[in-house]
Amino acid sequence: MNLIETTLKKTIQYAIKKAFDTDIELDEIVVEEPKSKEHGDYATNVAMRLSKVLRQNPKAIAEKLLHELESKEDGIRKAEIAGPGFINFFMEAGSLSEVIAKVLSEDKDFGKTVCEDKRRWNVEYVSANPTGDLHPGHARGASIGDSLTRIMKTAGYDVTREYYINDAGNQINNMAKSLQARYLQSYGIDITVPEDGYHGKDLIEIAETVVSEVGDAYKDVDIEESLPFFRQIGLREETKKLRDDLWTFNVEFDVWTSEQSVYDRGLVERALKQLTDNGNTYVSEEATWLRTTEFGDDKDRVLVRGNGLYTYLLPDIAYHLNKKDRGFDVLIDLLGADHHGYIARLKAAIQALGYPSSDLEVDIIQMARMLKDGEEFKMSKRTGKAVSLKDLIEEAGVDAVRYYFVSRAGDTHMDLDLDMASKQSNENPVYYAQYAHARMCSILRNADVQPATSFELIIHPKESELCKIMFEFPQMVKDAAQTRQPHKVCNYIQKLASAFHAFYNECQVLNLEDARLSAQRLGLVKAVQITLRNALTLIGVGAPEKM
């Protein structure tokens, strides 16, 4: 809630008290910005909402409130009743321009708020297996996860960003065998990559790295004997590539946790014991089961197979327990849509461990469907016929790709036309925002005076619009954090950039006859530039000074 809206709400609350002797919570009063300018700067529907309680018709209620509202000041220039009972407020222009000084003084900190939620949050995202390149689905998860954590931090949350490296399962053995085959192939040995192995070109490149490091040292070694070597070096290289690609994509993590280390530290046994101690496991047909049905899953799940090996689920539970043990109150997992069947058992598991269901929040990131020549382009990491994150970045650039993925809600399906991606340079919305920023910087560069420190001349409609939008920024960030919807930041960016372009077209800033107005507008431009830059930073997109 921004300053102006809060003030308005209090004014309304006071008016209701005075007119009807009725108390109403501040939270119950809705003040919003009408879609149409004719309906004023802000509007409230309290009269309609009170209609039922007070047993009076909305318009009559509004009339009485209006009488009280007009006797107050609080920057309200005019209030009027419209439609079925809305009260519209027209603000004194000067009250809006207050935000400029606030933005200028807070600068990089504008948008930050204090959070009443003091819990420790852990957000896990991407967590792609170290068996090949990141694909567009991972890119979407990375964009959203990284942006979400930036937004949550700005909204005052205590957040740790985490990546879980699945370096212990079957898929790693397959990767090792595939790498081994590529290595041997490079010495002309007739051996094929296993059917269920990984056929991507990344392993051919890693095989070349192996050759350059150890030469033919493993050429004649027994296949079984050399496998651990390829496993180890394959993991090292694949993990390094993941980190590098994510770094290039401007995506960072605070903690990288290895699945192998979960085993090595005995956490799996600890988790199994805790589940059993809580009475939530049983043995049937030689396997150990978790009673997930007790916690809402549709069937119980196997933890330890009949052959004594663990299923994927158990170490994963151990990993989540470990996160709790490390002191995190709430765990957020951003999972790909192909794992949504996994949510129920994970939520069940956290309860079986003895924690409330709300300690784990799983958000699904829907797949991005790739289109090429108007047809779906199926991807598979295993066969190597995949578009990688690196390919995407080369085609469209980091900023465009990130913006594209973050601009859509994570739970909706989306299409990405690969042909469009290459020619997206002029069509992508990210350039619209970046161009606005570059324009502002250009004005600031060309200015030969200092920005003003008071802004009473900022009363033009286009200027007031910019002020209103800036006022919204901190609340918008908070809202995006709470609802875990980074795309709201993109919507905001579009709105701010659009308002600026409109202002730019109508209002000259530099070299005006009225030097005071020029300096005040310069301050406005500086404030908008700060706000836009801060917003772009929230989603990891650059704010160029020139284009």
Partner RNA sequence: GCGGCCGUAGCUCAGUUGGAUAGAGCGAGCGCCUCCUAAGCGCUAGGUCACCGGUUCAACUCCGGUCGGUCGCGCCA
Residues 527-546, interacting with RNA (CB under 7 A)? 545-546
The nearer residue to RNA, 50 or 93, going by C-beta atoms, is: 50
Smaller CB distance to RNA: residue 210 or 386?
386
Q: Kind of pairing, strands 414-417 and 368-372? A: parallel
Of 204 and 443, CB closest to RNA: 443
Return the beta strands (E) in 49-175 as ranges. Answer: 76-82, 86-91, 120-124, 158-165
> At closest approach, how far in Å is the CB of 365 from RNA?
10
x/- letters, 190..229, toward RNA (CB under 7 A): ----------------------------------------
Q: Which of 479, 482, 537, 542 binds RNA (CB under 7 A)?
A: 479
* Beta-sheet strands, E only, within 20-112: 31-32, 42-44, 76-82, 86-91
Q: Kindly tell me which residue out of 30, 101, 418, 459 binds RNA, with binding defined by CB under 7 A.
A: 30
Q: How far is the CB of 416 from RNA (least distance, A)?
A: 8
Is the distance from CB of 289 to CB of 313 less than 8 angstroms? no
Place of tokens 């079925």: 84
Please list, in sequence order, all residues whose beta carbon lies within 8 angstroms of the beta carbon of residue 421, skipping any fewer than 6 positions away: 392, 395, 396, 400, 401
Q: Which is nearer to RNA, 254 or 427 (CB)?
A: 427
- The interface with RNA within residues 412-471 (CB under 7 A) comprises 412-415, 417, 425-427, 429, 431-432, 435, 438-439, 441-443, 446
Contact 504, 439 (CB under 8 A): yes
**Cα gap 306→284, rounded to integer Å:** 9
Phi-psi map region of 231: left, alpha, beta (phi>0 left; psi -120 to 50 alpha): alpha
Query: How near is the Cβ of 529 to RNA at its closest, in Å?
Result: 12
Complete DSSP assignment for 349-400: HHHHTT--GGGEEEEEEPPEEEEETTEE----TTTS----HHHHHHHH-HHH
Stretch that binds RNA, among 33-41, 181-189, 208-216, 534-542 (CB under 7 A): 33-41
Residues 361-390, one symbol each (x = binds RNA by CB under 7 A, - = not), give: ---x-xx-----------------------
Residues in contact with RNA, total (CB under 7 A)? Answer: 93
> Is there binding between residue 509 and RNA (CB under 7 A)?
yes
Q: Which is nearer to RNA, 105 or 170 (CB)?
A: 170
Give the binding range for RNA (CB under 7 A) out of 104-112, 113-121, 229-237, 487-495. 487-495
Residue 21 gets the label, from left (phi > 0), alpha (psi -120 to 50) or beta, of: left
Collapsing DSSP states into helix, strand and coil, what is residue 415? strand
Please identify, using beta-carbon distances, which residue of 182 and 478 lies nearer to RNA.
478
Q: What is the dihedral of CA 182, 188, 194, 199, to 10 degrees?
A: 40
488 binds RNA (CB under 7 A): yes
- Nearer residue to RNA within complex by CB, 166 or 322: 166
Q: Tell me the closest approach of the beta carbon of residue 367 to RNA, in angstroms.
A: 6
CB neighbourhood size of 338 (10 A): 11
Note whether 505 binds RNA by CB under 7 A.
yes
114 binds RNA, rule: CB under 7 A:
no
Q: Which of 33, 98, 252, 329 binds RNA (CB under 7 A)?
A: 33
49 or 120: CB nearest RNA: 49
Q: Are 53 and 19 in contact (CB under 8 A)?
A: no
Calpha distance 520→451 (Å, rounded): 6
Which residues in 80-99 contact RNA (CB under 7 A)?
82-84, 86, 88
In this chain, which of 7, 185, 498, 537 binds RNA, going by CB under 7 A? 498
Q: Are 266 and 275 in contact (CB under 8 A)?
A: no
- Interface with RNA in residues 306-365 (CB under 7 A): 306-307, 309-313, 337-342, 364
Q: Per rule CB under 7 A, is residue 1 in the interface with RNA?
A: no
Pattern 398-417, RNA, x by CB under 7 A: ---------xxx-xxxxx-x
- Sheet strands (E) in 216-280: 255-258
- For tokens 């001349």, what's the residue? 457
- Least Cα distance to 479 among 5, 162, 105, 161 occurs for 5
DSSP letter assigned to residue 89 = E
What part of residues 265-294 is at the interface with RNA (CB under 7 A)? 284-287
Please check whether residue 111 is in contact with residue 102, taking contact to mean a CB–CB distance below 8 angstroms.
Answer: no
**Number of C-beta neighbours around residue 459 at 10 A:** 14
Contacting residue, 66, 115, 211, 502, with RNA by CB under 7 A: 502
User: What minimum distance in Å lies between the beta carbon of 190 and RNA?
Assistant: 28
Task: State the Cα–Cα distance between residues 416 and 143, nearest whole angstrom.
Answer: 15
Instruction: Between 158 and 429, name the residue whose CB sits nearer to RNA.
Output: 429
- Regarding 14 and contact with RNA (CB under 7 A), the answer is no
Between 220 and 419, name the residue whose CB sits nearer to RNA: 419
Choose between 43 and 535: whose C-beta lies nearer to RNA.
Answer: 43
286: burial class by Cβ within 10 Å (0-12, 13-18, 19+)?
Answer: exposed
- From the CB of 316, what's the least distance to RNA, in Å? 8
The answer to the question of residue 491 lying near RNA (CB under 7 A) is yes
User: CA dihedral defined by 222, 223, 224, 230, rounded to 10 degrees?
Assistant: 120
Among 72, 270, 460, 501, binds RNA (CB under 7 A): 501
Interface residues for RNA in 40-79 (CB under 7 A)?
40, 43, 45, 48-49, 51-52
**Region 121-150 residues binding RNA, contact defined as CB under 7 A:** 129
User: Do the bridges between strand 31-32 and strand 42-44 make them parallel or antiparallel, or are there none, so unpaired?
Assistant: antiparallel
Q: Which part of the chain contacts RNA (CB under 7 A), choosing from 102-110, 187-195, 493-501, 535-543?
A: 493-501
Nearer to RNA, 36 or 71 (CB): 36
What's at 471, amino acid-wise? F
Min separation Cβ 348 and RNA, Å = 14
